[in-house]
């Protein structure tokens, strides 16, 4: 898993959603965004990453990642209905989306550190 790429891709969603909230042009689809196994991180969490499923950070990441996708999909649905969604209220650090996004990034880093330790050769 490219954890750094996952952090970058995850972080890029804020820009995509910001642009979409300003101009809901139907280029994003809430039904697709709301599914947590369509992105690279989600595919890893539901596939190869399952080898870490007994790890607390992994389990929390899987849950928070799914919640993040639901929050992003909710913003797209609201914009699609014509609701004017204030960017700071929707995407800011104190918003549900912002809190979930921050938590997902922290958990990706925690899982990355554990995965790297598990892959490191044992020292004598």
pLDDT of residue 16: 92
Mean pLDDT of 42-67: 93
d(CA 83, CA 54): 41
pTM: 0.88
Of 1-10, 13-22, 24-33, 58-67, which range is least confident? 1-10
Mean pLDDT of 97-116: 92
What percentage of the chain reaches a pLDDT higher than 90? 61
pLDDT above 90 for 109: yes
Q: Tell me, what DSSP letter sits at residue 123? A: P
Asked whether 39 and 9 are in contact (CB, 8 A), the reply is yes
b/e map 71-106, b = 16+ CB within 10 Å: bbbbbbbbbeeeeebeeeebbeeebbbbbbbebbbe
The candidate with the shortest Cα–Cα distance to 99, out of 50, 64, 63, is 64
Mean pLDDT of 19-25: 93
Cβ burial of 5 (10 Å; 0-12, 13-18, 19+) is exposed
d(CA 20, CA 31): 15
d(CA 45, CA 48): 7
pLDDT above 90 for 124: no
Asked whether 111 and 58 are in contact (CB, 8 A), the reply is yes
């Amino acid at each position: 898993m490219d954890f750094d790429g996952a952090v970058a891709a995850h972080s890029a969603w804020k820009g995509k959603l910001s642009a979409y909230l300003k101009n809901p042009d139907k280029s994003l689809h809430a039904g697709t965004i709301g599914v947590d196994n369509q992105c690279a991180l989600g595919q890893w969490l539901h596939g190869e990453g399952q080898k870490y499923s007994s790890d607390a950070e992994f389990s929390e990441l899987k849950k928070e990642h799914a919640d993040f996708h639901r929050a992003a999909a909710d913003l797209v649905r609201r914009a699609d209905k014509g609701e004017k969604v204030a960017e700071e209220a929707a995407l800011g650090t104190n918003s549900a989306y912002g809190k979930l996004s921050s938590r997902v990034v922290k958990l990706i880093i925690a899982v990355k550190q554990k995965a790297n330790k598990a892959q490191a050769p044992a020292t004598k």
